[in-house]
Amino acid sequence: MFFVLMESTRSALSSIWAHGLRSFLTTLGIVIGVASVIAVVSVTQGMSAFIGETFASLGSNSITIGSYTPYQDRLKGNFARLTSDDLNMLEARADGIAYITPILFAPRSSQIKYGSQTAFSQILGTTYAFQDITANYPQVGRFLAPSDNDTRRRIAVIGAKVRENLNLPENPLNEYVELGGEWFKVVGLLEEKGEIMGNSQDDMVLVPYSTMQSIVGNQTRTDIQIQMGLSEGADVDTVVQQVTTLLRSAHNLEPGDEDDFRVQTAEQLMETFDEIIGMVTVVIGGIVGISLLVGGIGIMNIMLVSVTERTREIGICKAIGAKRHHILAQFLIEAALLSLLGGIIGLALGFGLGTLISSNIPDFPPAVIPMWAVALSLGFSGFVGVLFGILPAAKAANLDPIDALRYE
């Protein structure tokens, strides 16, 4: 049996090589289909791996809480809020919390000035715990201290992109920038973290939370975001459930009422992103499957032509003792090899295309091909070859040797 397989493979390769151009054109549908799938998968998987590393740097035990207002309520002008009272309540009553910090976004304009330079950035009011929860540490200088909040100091910690946009010195410490019409002293420069999905993680200015409150003024409708880091050993789901219960009680929500806040963990964000990536991959894979189907029909067509061309050869083989399964194996192997060669070429082209796409998008993560994608592409290519090669192979195997020898 091994000898039959070896001879059938050798004969199939000889036939493919003898008609090189025809073989390539036959597998073109397979090549295009596999290349398209691999290009999409390599780009999306590279992005997914990069996003995963980014979320991992935040820690799997971080929780973000923000207000949520249904669309119908927003149309009515009713907006849900999180306040300092919610923050203080959670800090006092929630278990398993190692760090907790408010985030108050600058109202209206987020303009920042230095000399004659003006830039727009994300300006946040927060506390010293922000650095441990989000892994944002100073490269130069220091971070916000508890005493800065106590005394409402006009100080700022800036990201690398802000320093670049304002043409600040390499060491911007003790320089003064203008925020909201007030001067702030730069006391720290954050470590550079790069971009994620086209958004810079370094384009932000951090000021003490109490200082931001004084800039905002006595607005009773101030809305904050709350971030917390859990203590070691704390169960994320348990803490999320407790936080939800406490906030619903504080906001006087009835059992049937929808939450007016959203509690998100880094794992939930990653799961959501993975679902989106998975849906995109499946949809595009389904569309590209049409190309593989067309490629399979092309293989069946050319194999039927090959059977007709080699009718006398088949008759001679049967006349000297070749069995039906020998002929069947020879043509099935040839069809499978045609499809597999197309899959291999498509695999190489797809990875090259994915690498080209990712390298030409600024700060985009490199393309990555997981082993399951390689195995699936080659396996499906081989399956298509066998599936569409069965009819021509059966036709060849069922030829009568006398009729085959008399075929002109």
Q: What is the pLDDT along the chain (408 residues), one digit of tens a residue?
A: 555 567 667 666 677 677 677 777 777 878 887 887 788 778 777 777 776 666 655 555 788 898 888 777 777 777 888 888 889 999 888 888 888 999 998 876 678 998 888 888 889 999 999 988 888 889 999 999 999 998 999 999 999 999 999 999 989 999 999 987 889 999 999 988 876 656 778 889 999 999 988 887 655 567 889 998 888 877 888 888 999 999 999 888 888 888 888 888 877 777 777 777 777 777 776 766 776 777 777 777 777 777 766 667 667 776 777 677 677 777 777 778 878 888 888 888 888 888 888 787 766 777 777 787 788 777 877 787 777 777 777 777 777 766 656 655
CA-to-CA distance for 287 and 290, rounded, in angstroms? 6
Rounded to the nearest 10°, the torsion over CA 140, 141, 144, 150 is -170
* C-beta neighbour count of 77 within 10 angstroms: 6
- Work out whether the CA dihedral 162, 163, 165, 166 comes out positive or negative: positive
DSSP 299-367: HHHHHHHHHHHTHHHHHHHHHTT--HHHHHHHHHHHHHHHHHHHHHHHHHHHHHHHHHHHHTSTTPPPP
How far from chain centre, in Å, is Cα 353? 17
Tokens of 56: 């991992």
* Phi, psi (deg, nearest 5) at residue 231: -75, 160
* C-beta neighbour count of 343 within 10 angstroms: 29
Q: Answer yes or no: are the C-beta atoms of 299 and 338 closer than 8 Å.
A: yes
Task: Please tell me what DSSP assigns to residue 77.
Answer: T
Q: What pTM was estimated for this model as a whole? A: 0.62
Please name the helix (run of DSSP H) or strand (run of DSSP E) that holds residue 118, with its range, or none: strand 117-120
The CA angle 81-273-158, to the nearest 5 degrees, is: 60
Give the burial class of 216: count Cβ atoms within 10 A of its Cβ; 0-12 exposed, 13-18 middle, 19 or more buried.
Answer: middle
65, 121, 154 from 183: Cα distances, Å: 31, 16, 7
